A and B are shown apart, each in its own frame.
Chain A
Amino acid sequence: GAVVSQHPSWVICKSGTSVKIECRSLDFQATTMFWYRQFPKQSLMLMATSNEGSKATYEQGVEKDKFLINHASLTLSTLTVTSAHPEDSSFYICSALRVGRGWRTGTRDTQYFGPGTRLTVL
C-alpha cells in the first residue's frame, strides 16, 4: 500500500516551453501533497505544499507564477513549470501525505514519495 506515481519519469524540453508533471496517490487519498526539487548530490528542497481544493503554499524563494500547482482531487496534484529555462533542470519529486490514526494506535501522518521526474531544459 501507499504507492505514489509520477508522470512523466523524465522530460526534455526546449527553453521557453511549459512542462506539466503529475503526481498521483494510487491507493490512498491525500488531502496534502508536497513538491520537492533536488539538484545533483544535494538533499531534497521543499518547493510547495499542495492542498486539495485550495491554493498551494510556496516556500520562500520559489516563484509561484513560474511553478503552478493544482491539486484538483484527493489523488492528483500537478506541477507546471512555465517558460522553463536551463536553470530549472532538476529532479522533481512529489509526496503524498497519508493520514495516520494517531499516536494511540502508533501510526502518524506519513509522507510517501513518488519516483521523481527528471526535467532537462535545453
Chain B
Amino acid sequence: LAKTTQPISMDSYEGQEVNITCSHNNIATNDYITWYQQFPSQGPRFIIQGYKTKVTNEVASLFIPADRKSSTLSLPRVSLSDTAVYYCLVGDINSYDKVIFGPGTSLSVIP
C-alpha cells in the first residue's frame, strides 16, 4: 500500500480555486489515485479517480504528473458547502486490497 502525505488543513475564501496536493512517492505501477470528501457525521463520498495526466468531472479535476509521485485535486470556485475533509488514497486496480485512510486535509472555506 502506497503511503500518502497531504497537508493537514487549508483555508480558502469562497469563489477561489483550491488545489490540494497529495504525495505518494512509492506509488506502484498498478495503483490508481482516488479522492474522497467527508462531511462531519457522514460517510466519505467518492469525488474523482485517475491513473495519469488529467481527469475532470463535474465537481473536480485531478492532475497527475508523469512520474505519478504526487497528485493534485483541484476544486474550482469553492463555496461554503465545500468545507470538509478530503482524503487521497492510492491502491491497486487489480486487487481487492483494503485501503488505509490517512488523516486527510481539512478544508475550511471562509465567506
Contact = CB atoms under 8 A, between A and B. Distances in A.
Interface of A: 2, 4, 6, 31-32, 34, 36, 42-46, 49, 91, 93-95, 97, 100, 102-103, 106, 108-116, 118
Interface stretch (B11-19, B20-28, B36-44, B56-64): B36-44
Contacts of B45: 113
Given A2-B46, A44-B44, A111 B99 contact: yes
A118 B43 CA distance: 11
Contact of B46 (A45, A93, A112): A112
Given A103-B94, A110-B34, 7 more contacts: A43-B87, A43-B104, A49-B98, A93-B43, A108-B49, A113-B46, A116-B41
Residue among B30, B43, B45 with the highest chain A CB neighbour number at 10 A: B43
B91 to A, nearest CB: 8
Among A36, A43, A102, residue most surrounded by chain B Cβ atoms (within 10 Å): A43
Contact of A109 (B51, B93, B103): B93
A97 B96 contact: yes
Interface in B75-111: 87, 91, 93-96, 98-104
B42 A103 contact: no
A45 B101 CA distance: 7
A115 B44 CA distance: 8
Contacts of B44: 44, 93, 95, 113
Given A91-B41, A109-B95, A114-B43, A103 B102 contact: no
A44 B102 CA distance: 8
A6 B44 CA distance: 13
A100 B32 CA distance: 12
Nearest to A116: B43
